Amino acid sequence: MLLDAIAVQDILPHRPPFLFIDRVVSIEGETIIAHKAVSSCEPVLQGHFPGNPILPGVVQVEAMAQAAVLLVGQLGKFDSERDNCLFIGIQEAKFRQPVRPGELLEIEVKAVRLGRVGKFEGVVRVGDTVKSQAKFTAIISPKEAAKKPEAAS
């Protein structure tokens, strides 16, 4: 294991219930593989759907985005102390199979372009089965730029 749950939280600003990466198992070149164990106790599963719990596709795409942030952090392109990394686009998201409690997600994200604006391709698998995939774009912006301007006096 490359990054455990504690190391993941040292990089990502997310916290449960909105943290969707449990560990990073590999980074090779500009590709990361992370895992998320889907528990029946996930808060989002309580209402999606009662009696037939399915992890929403938007959560799967968010897990891909969180993996991308971990990737750019490990590549030295992102510093969580100084920067925010924010979605600016999601393209070609496809949801192929439902994700159910008890499944272990393998989240693979490849950087297509790195820089202040990054482009990524991600896929979520359980074993050999593709559950979802997406292309997405994110921007790295300094945290100071995210602060609201003070009112003029």
Distance of CA 129 to the CA centre of its chain: 19
Instruction: Give me the residue spans of the domains in the chain.
Output: 5-144
Other C-beta atoms lying within 10 Å of the C-beta of residue 60: 25
In angstroms, the CA 96 to CA 21 distance is 20
CATH architecture of 5-144: Roll (3.10)
Other C-beta atoms lying within 10 Å of the C-beta of residue 100: 15
pTM above 0.75, yes or no: yes
Q: Could you give the residue numbers annotated as active site?
A: 48
pLDDT at position 80, please? 87
In angstroms, the CA 85 to CA 67 distance is 12
The parts of the chain modelled with pLDDT lower than 50 are none
Element at 119 (helix H, strand E): strand 117-126
Q: Long-range contacts of range 145-152, CB-CB < 8 Å, 24 or more positions apart?
A: 146/84
Widest Cα–Cα separation across the chain: 61
pLDDT at position 1, please? 79
